[in-house]
Chains A and B, each alone.
Chain A
Amino acid sequence: MFQLFLIAFRNLGTHRRRTLLLGGAIAGVTALLVILMGLSTGMKETMLRSATTLATGHVNVGGFYKVTAGQAAPVVTAFPKILELVRKEVPELDYAVQRGRGWAKIVSESSSLQVGVGGIDVKDEPGFRQVLQIHEGTLDGLDEQNTVLLFEKQAKKLQVKVGDTITISAPTMRGTNNTVDVRVAAIATDVGLMSDFNIFVPSNTLRSLYQLRDDTTGALYLYLKDVSQVPQVQARLRTVLADAGHQLMDNDPRAFWMKFEVVNREAWTGQKLDITNWEDELSFITWTLTALNGLTGILIFVLLVIIGVGIMNTLWIAIRERTREIGTLRAIGMQRTRVVVMFLFEAMTLGALGTLAGALVGLAVCLGVDSAHVGVPEAVAMFIMSDRLHLVVNAGSVVGAMVFITACTTLISLIPSFLAARLKPVTAMHHIG
C-alpha cells in the first residue's frame, strides 16, 4: 500500500506544474467558498443581531388589551408580575427587558413621518449599545424623560439635530389623539430597514403618550444565552403563564403589528398574552435572508461547475497520459482495483492539500476583512442592518467544504482511472499520448 502512496506522491511531485495548477484551482475554489460562506453567515448574523436587539427578543411575551372588542392595544398590563414569573421559570435567560410598542406620527417644523415607537429603559438594554452606532448625542441622553432617539435618515427628513424638539402624536386607547413633545437626545447611524420605521423614546414617555399605567408595557423581550433553546422556553412559558391564570392567544407566527386585524375581529375584551419568538417577529424580513442564501447558493454552484469542469478536464488528461504506466503495472500483475485506488489516492491527496491551502487562505481573508472593519455600500447596509462588513467563519462548514471538494476531485478522477484500468494491458502499454 505504501508503494501506491509513494507513486501517487512522486507523480504529483514530478508533474509539478500541473500539480500546482490543479492544486491552485482547488485551493481557489475552496478559498472562495470559505469567503462566500463567511460573508453570508456574517451578514446573516449581523442582520439578526441588529434585528433582534432593535425589534424583538429571542422570545417575547407580548399581547393585546381590548377595552371594547374592536379596539386592540398592543400592551401587556401588570407586567412586573409576569416578569418575575419569567425570571423564575426561565433559567436559560441571559437578560430580559420591557419595551413599549406604539405606532405614531412624528412632526418637526418642516416635515412629518409615520413610525413605530419603541419605549426603552436604556440602562437595562446592554444589547443596544453594541448594535447602534451613535452618530450625534449619546444613548445615555435617553435616560431623561421626553427625549427621543432618531436615525440619521429620519433626522435628515425632519431636518432636526440633537437638542431640537419634535412632537409625537398618537391615538390613545380611548380613541382621542394625544401628543408629547420630545427633545432629540441621540441620532444613530442607519441600520437598514429597521431604521426606516423605528424610533425609540424612554418607556415613561411612551406611557404618557398613550396614557398608560406604570405597570403596563408593550412586551417583555427575553434574550437567552443560547438561541437554540428558543422552542423549549417558548413552550414552557405557554404552560407556566396559562397555569398562572393568564389568557393566551393561539400561536400565530407573525409580527405583532400584523395581528391587529385578526385581534380586532375577535369578540373578547381584556388582556390576552401572546408568546412569540424572534423568527415570528422578523418574518417580514426573513425573505432577505432567503434571498441572500439563494444568491450565495447560485453563485457557489456556478463557480463549482465552472471550476469543476476545468479540474475534471485536467485530471482526465493527466490520467490518460499515464495509460502506458497503467498498462505496465497491470502487465506486472497489479489488479484493476488497486490501479484505481492508486489514482484515487493521488486525486485525494491533491484535493486534501489543495482544499487545506484554500481553506487557510479563505480563513485569513475572512479574519482580515472582519478585523479591518470594511464599510459596506448603503444598499447592502440596508439589508444587513449594519454599516460594516462582518465575516463569520463556521468551522463545521469549512471542514464540510473541504471534504466536499476533496470528494468531488476524487470522484471525478474515478472515471478516467477506471476506464484506463479496464483496458487490456497491451492496449494500455501501446497507448500514445
Chain B
Amino acid sequence: MNAAVAQSPIVSITNVTKDYTLGKVVVPALRGVDLQVHPGEFISIAGPSGSGKTTLLNLIGCVDTATSGVVSVAGQDTKQLTERQLTHLRLHTIGFIFQSFNLVSVLSVFQNVEFPLLLQRKLDKNQRKERVNQLLEQVGLADHAKHRPNELSGGQRQRVAVARALVTRPQLVLADEPTANLDSVTGQNIIDLMKELNQKEGTTFIFSTHDAKVMSHANAVVRLADGKFLDRLTPSEAKRAMAAGAEGH
C-alpha cells in the first residue's frame, strides 16, 4: 500500500467542475472536486443519487470533458490530448463498465467481449478466443457466448459489460454501479473477480456503488455529496458514517 502511494497517481483530479446546460438552465454536477488515485488502489465512490458519481467517472474515463479544472489520467492531462489520443487512451489504458451496459445489440456475447481486442490488434485469433472464453467463464457466461444481448437478463448483460471492460487487461477499470443489477451471489463473484485482478495484476479500480457490502472490499471510500468531495474514508469508517447519516434522516 505504501509502495503504491509512493508512485505517481494514475488518476489526478484537481479542482474539477462540470456543468450541464439544459437549454438556459445550468446544472452544476461537480463543483470543485479533487481526487488522487494511485496505481493498484481499489476505490469506491459513494454518494446519494445525483451527487455526481457517474459524471466523475465519465471525466476520468475520457468520454466527457470537464468544464474547468485538470483531469490527468496515466500522467497525461486529458485537456491537452487530441480526440485521437483520447480514443487511444480509452482503448489501451481504461476499461469502462457503464451503468447502462451499452452492448452492441447485433453482436453476440462473444463478439461484444472480443471487440476491444479487435480494435487493439494485439492478439491473434486464437489468443483472443482464449482470453474471451476465460473471461466469460469467470463471469459465469460461458454457456451464453453465442447469445445476443437482447436474449439475456439484465444481470447477464451487466456481466458481459464487465467482461468487455476487463478483456484488454487495462491498467485502470472504471465501473459505474457494477453490481446494481446483480443478485448478491453474482455480485459477490464480480467483486471477487475485480479484487483478484487488482491483487494479481495491480489493476486500479474505481467504482461507484450504493451497496455497503461492496464498499467493504475497497481500500478507500470517496464520498461525494451534491457535486462536492465530502471525505475519503476507510470502508469501516464509511459504514459507520453512512449508518449515522441514515439515522440522522
Contact = CB atoms under 8 A, between A and B. Distances in A.
Given A331-B61, A331-B63, A10 B106 contact: yes
A315 B203 CA distance: 42
A189 interface: no
Contacts of B84: 335-336
B98 interface: yes
A335 B104 contact: no
Say whether chain B's binding surface is mostly helix, strand, loop, or mixed.
Answer: helix
Interface residues of B, number: 29
Interface stretch (A31-39, A81-89, A113-121, A320-328): A320-328
Contact of A333 (B64, B90, B100, B111): B90
Interface in B76-104: 83-84, 87-88, 90-92, 96, 98, 100, 102-104
A376 to B, nearest CB: 50
A3 B102 contact: no
Given A333-B116, A334-B87, A328 B107 contact: no
A421 B86 CA distance: 14
Contacts, number: 73
A7 B83 contact: no
A182 B64 CA distance: 96
Contacts of B114: 3
A61 to B, nearest CB: 70
A429 B106 CA distance: 16
Interface in A6-65: 6-7, 10-11, 13-14
Contacts of A329: 104, 115
A176 B150 CA distance: 98
A332 B84 CA distance: 13
A426 B64 contact: yes
Most chain A beta-carbon contacts within 10 A, residue among B64, B103, B104: B104
B64 A424 contact: yes
Contacts of A427: 64
B96 A331 contact: yes
A425 interface: yes
B92 A332 contact: no
A330 interface: yes
Interface residues of A, number: 25
A332 B107 contact: no
A331 B119 contact: no
A182 B79 CA distance: 99
Contact of B118 (A3, A11, A328, A331): A3
A332 B106 contact: no
A346 to B, nearest CB: 11
A333 B63 contact: no
B104 A424 contact: no
B128 to A, nearest CB: 11
Given A3-B115, A3-B118, A429 B104 contact: no
Given A10-B106, A331-B102, A426 B63 contact: yes
Given A324-B102, A325-B104, A333-B116, A426 B58 contact: yes
Most chain A beta-carbon contacts within 10 A, residue among B64, B84, B114: B64
Contacts of A336: 83-84, 87
A4 to B, nearest CB: 9
Contact of B65 (A327, A328, A424): A424
B105 interface: yes
B226 to A, nearest CB: 21
Nearest to A3: B118
B164 interface: yes
Contact of B116 (A14, A332, A335, A338): A332
A178 to B, nearest CB: 87
Contact of B107 (A7, A333, A426, A429): A7
A53 to B, nearest CB: 60
A242 B63 CA distance: 83
A333 B104 contact: no
A425 B63 contact: yes
Most chain B beta-carbon contacts within 10 A, residue among A10, A13, A328, A336: A328
Given A331-B90, A332-B90, A335-B84, A325 B115 contact: no
A336 B91 CA distance: 13
B111 A3 contact: yes
B111 A429 contact: no
A423 B87 CA distance: 13
B238 to A, nearest CB: 28
Nearest to B88: A333
B102 A333 contact: no
A333 B106 CA distance: 18
Contacts of B61: 331
Contacts of B87: 330, 333-336
Contact of A6 (B65, B92, B107): B107
Nearest to B114: A3
B58 A332 contact: no
21 contacts: A3-B114, A7-B107, A10-B106, A10-B107, A14-B106, A328-B98, A328-B103, A329-B115, A330-B63, A330-B87, A331-B63, A331-B102, A332-B115, A333-B116, A334-B87, A334-B91, A335-B87, A336-B84, A426-B58, A426-B63, A429-B102
Interface of B: 58, 61, 63-65, 83-84, 87-88, 90-92, 96, 98, 100, 102-107, 111, 114-116, 118-120, 164
Interface of A: 3, 6-7, 10-11, 13-14, 324-325, 327-336, 338, 424-427, 429
Given A330-B87, A333-B87, 4 more contacts: A7-B107, A333-B119, A334-B87, A424-B63
**7 residue pairs, one from A and one from B, having the closest CB atoms:** A333-B91, A10-B106, A425-B63, A328-B102, A426-B64, A333-B90, A426-B63
